[in-house]
Structure 1
Amino acid sequence: MTDTGLGDVLDTTYTVLVKIGETLCPLIIDTGSADLWTASDGCQECSKYGVALYPQESLSAVGQDVDLLYGDSRTGTHASGPIGTDTVGVAGLSVPDQYLAAIVDTNTSVLDTGSTGILGLGFPPVSVIWRQLLASDLQGPVPTFLKRDINPNKQDDPNTLPSFEFLNSTSQSWKRQDGPTPYASPIDSFSTIGPFVTRLVTLKLLSRPLVVTTLQRDTVSLSGNAGTLSLGALPYGLADEYLTWVPIRGYRPSEGGLPPSPEAPNEVYPLVWEIPIDDVYFDGVKLPRSPLSPSTISLSALVDTGNSLIRGPQDIVGHIYALLGDSFDCSIPHNLSFQIGGVQFPVDPRDFAQPMPVRPGTVYADEAARCSPALAATDPPRQGGFLYSWSLGDPFLKSVLVAFYYGNITHPSQDPPRVGLMSTVPSDAGSALEKAVASAVNNGGIFPSASEPAPYATPIELHTVPLENVSPPMTQGPQWAYSSGAAGAGAAARGWTTSLILAVLVGVLGHLYR
């Protein structure tokens, strides 16, 4: 096993240091997407952020550009640049000739956080780079219309699945127009042009096909726990039986999933880290199922480190807001919990409560700090689109250790992918919240907050944020921000200075690219 520490920008983005060529790049870890990209020195606007930009001369370009689109029905962002290869490494593990995008233009706010890009930890089918390279291998240079099919604009249809139309001809033979392809089937390309973690797994560079995350808390009530990314094994002292394991939803071709290879026609592949949910509870009361989702679609959630909020059905999120009012007393702990695999996994009340602003020069008139929930609505599932109703972002993921088990990526029926969860919420979380609020009230309305870089990454200022500088979070925020399941969404971020405040980071950043 190998592991490495994570950076944390006000609990809105979590970063890991990735070596691309000779450049150390702090990248946002994103389980909702599968593409790897970093800002390059070809980006004229990127130099003002003071981060280490990847030199384009280090990239072995393949003659193709990619446009990575993110967003839902409420927002949309992009990152574009040439595709090429270089050696990529994390925590001492590296692979040569890894495909990535060297971004020259983006309207995401990744760089505001001291990050330079995204490290997608998702499955190959949602990788835009993989699909575009595979389409090129099959058909030659990818025309503009096919690029739109490969990565549809989710601003037009936010829940659109990745397209595999370019694979239709493979039912006859795996040959391009001007000669044979280097692959017998799509899955044979995973180990060569697939995403970074996919290649770590298929090239057997990990002792187990496993990635584990723990996220630290750096706002409201600092946890003191180290955020880590573990590769190839569970953290020391843990065993599989300590975790609750649940399967990943597979998408059949009839549901928009990846077509199986000719030698394994019955395989069903996952698209994203989507797990079944038994039920959702708020303050001990089971919430109803949303009628916005067809009854034929079972309840599920995307597990997404690139989402700084918890997102759910608009009517259910609205119901919770109605129970709380426009704001609630931060010192009163509320319990949002998800029953998964028969086990309750609560959100730590210190992560559920997001501080609301006070007027400049004042403190709380009633000596009660006001908060809003770390919740936003997302687009409902539908047939022909992604099927999850909830997106479990960082407020949930700070409350659990999560093991992402890839299994057999090319033949999932032989070793199915799954997710393991273990709650890390302490028994005194409620009283810890009360103490944090009391301290903030006595301190003029200032909650502690910190931003820490990934080890050896771009330094980020450590500071506290006065509540009068905090903007309220959006109740109808973007579905994705830096990541998300659709055509490879990503992870969100906005900034880390006092001008870019905590609630904006949590709300608008909640999913910058979803």
Structure 2
Amino acid sequence: MIFPKATLFAYVSLALSLQVTAGPVPESKRSQGVGIPLRRHAGLQTEDGLFDLNKAVARMTRTQNKHTQNLINFQANKGYLPFTGAKIGSFLKVEDLLDIDLDLSLGKRQSVPLFNQEDIEWLGPVSIGSNNQEFTIDFDTGSADFWIVSRSCNDTVCTSKHTYDFNASTTAQEQSGNFSIHYGDGSTASGDLFTDSVTVAGVTAKDQFFAAVRNLSGTFDNDPIDGILGLAYPPLSKIKQDPFFTTANTQGAVPSNQFSFYFSSGSPGSNDSELFLGGTNPDLYTGDFDNVDVEGDKGYWSLGGASVSVNGKKAVDGLSTIIDSGTTIMYGPPDAVKELYAKVNGSQEYSAARGLWSYPCATPPNITFNWGGKDWPIKGEHLNLGHADNSGENCVGSIAGQELNLGDNVWLLGNTFMKNVYTTFNFDTNQVGFAELKQ
């Protein structure tokens, strides 16, 4: 559906207007940071609380394809792959993965249609161009490009999207080059490159590079996003250009080279989560930050030296962990995740093909991540993706063993981790910080 203009702008405060000037602006002249309310979209459960394998596989496929493209981009930009053991795999299709789990998807489940992309996403508004064309965007720390749907898209799914009209903006410039993304149904969308002004809650990046795709997969039919805005480092960019926040900081549109996320546990449709541009929002966290150095020039917000414990006992260590707001589930190498669940009393393999495990709902394990400082626990409500079957006795865990080809002992921590903490990303110090949420 298309959100009315008044509804879309209700999600963001426009009281702060930030002036953008050419070149860096002294810290003393920069405005205060600004928070963008984010709206949560759906989840990985059916209405009766059952874990929905179809939704999960659709999300897994999108995650796999995103990071396959990231590795291709990084190698093209840097000439090597970011992690030891990383390799570029094939792009996947949803139906290929579900065929493996046919007994689960058709037997135990009473699932939504195959390509229903309703999932855990936190959405916010973006405007582009001199005429403020409005879009609903998923903000993603696990990628570096910004793409939206072009007005020239003739696919049926595009009729439900906000689309970019290059000719309607006096500040738009068409650029050479192209952009493509791979979808979970096996299709590929190509797009044209443009520069234009891009504004998020009054923070404007002038002459920002982005892509407008001319065709869109049916996998987005039930997904309200019009595109994705990447917040990772430039080496992950397919179009070889600075991401939005990097541009905004260079132009002095934010008070500091830092942004932060708060993901609430509210119900789908609520808009009480927040992306804060230019610092942190102390109203949402308490205590000091546990700041962890980003490891090397890998393009990702990747943190080394991590360990995972179960009920106070270390289960796996020596991890590299990518903090990815555009991913739902937490992923680790299959053998390491199997080792973790071996320390969970009553755990059972739910889907060997997808690396999913269950545990007794009545006694959820205390699972914590640590980067050499404080233990950061996964709350029971965020570990639980839904009941494994109609008995309601076992719950599917949000840590899955999946080979994403990112590298040896590389884990991907999505928003089922980020919902437990207040997370800040600092480009100047090259650190990710975690703080406790205010109750």
The TM-score range, normalised by the shorter chain, is 0.5 to 0.7
1:67 equivalent to 2:67? Answer no
Letter of the aligned partner of 2:294 in structure 1? I
1:53 equivalent to 2:156? Answer no
Distance 2:322 2:281 in 1: 23
Query: How much has 1:64 moved relative to structure 2?
Result: 2.6
8 Å Cα contact 1:355/1:369 also seen in 2: no
Per the alignment, residue 272 of structure 1 pairs with 300
Per the alignment, residue 399 of structure 2 pairs with 375
Per the alignment, residue 204 of structure 1 pairs with 252
Larger radius of gyration: 1
User: Which whole-Å deviations, capped at 9, do the CAs of 1:448-505 have from their partners, x for residues lacking one?
Assistant: xxxxxxxxxxxxxxxxxxxxxxxxxxxxxxxxxxxxxxxxxxxxxxxxxxxxxxxxxx
Secondary structure (helix, strand or coil) at the match of 1:33 reads coil
Q: What is the root-mean-square deviation of aligned Cα atoms in Å?
A: 2.9
Per the alignment, residue 404 of structure 1 pairs with 425
Distance 2:165 2:186 in 1: 27
- State the number of aligned residues: 315
Per the alignment, residue 374 of structure 2 pairs with 343
Distance 2:231 2:252 in 1: 16
Distance 1:108 1:127 in 2: 25
Q: Which of residues 150, 161, 171 in structure 2 aligns to 1:40? A: 150
Query: How much has 1:348 moved relative to structure 2?
Result: 1.2
Per the alignment, residue 235 of structure 1 pairs with 281
8 Å Cα contact 2:144/2:236 also seen in 1: yes
The alignment's TM-score, normalised by the length of structure 2, stands at 0.65
Query: How much has 1:208 moved relative to structure 2?
Result: 0.9
Q: Which of residues 258, 262, 265 in structure 2 aligns to 1:217? A: 265
Per the alignment, residue 303 of structure 1 pairs with 323
CA gap of 1:389–1:41, structure 2 versus 1, over 3 A, is same
Distance 2:284 2:34 in 1: 14
Q: Which structure exhibits the higher relative contact order, with contacts defined as CA atoms closer than 8 Å and separated by 6 or more residues? A: 1
Distance 1:27 1:238 in 2: 22
1:14 equivalent to 2:122? Answer yes
8 Å Cα contact 1:10/1:218 also seen in 2: no
1:281 equivalent to 2:309? Answer yes
Distance 2:372 2:379 in 1: 19
Q: Which of residues 234, 237, 241 in structure 2 aligns to 1:127? A: 237
Letter of the aligned partner of 1:64 in structure 2? G
Q: Which of residues 401, 405, 418 in structure 1 aligns to 2:431? A: 418
Distance 2:124 2:395 in 1: 30
Distance 1:224 1:98 in 2: 30
Q: Which of residues 314, 318, 333 in structure 2 aligns to 1:313? A: 333
CA gap of 1:28–1:110, structure 2 versus 1, over 3 A, is farther
Distance 1:9 1:223 in 2: 6
Q: Which of residues 27, 33, 39 in structure 1 aligns to 2:137? A: 27
Any gaps of 5 or more consecutive residues in structure 1?
A: 131-192, 252-269, 290-297, 408-415, 427-514
Identity of matched residues, % = 26
Distance 2:437 2:409 in 1: 24
* Superposition pairs of residues 36-185 of structure 1, within 5 angstroms: 36-47=146-157, 50-58=160-168, 60-69=173-182, 78-107=188-217, 109-110=219-220, 112-130=222-240
Letter of the aligned partner of 2:293 in structure 1? P
Query: How much has 1:387 moved relative to structure 2?
Result: 6.0
User: Which whole-Å deviations, capped at 9, do the CAs of 1:353-402 have from their partners, x for residues lacking one?
Assistant: 1113656xxxx3xxx44311012223377xxx656611110110000100
Distance 1:108 1:198 in 2: 32
Distance 1:239 1:376 in 2: 28
Distance 2:269 2:41 in 1: 14
Distance 2:140 2:186 in 1: 17
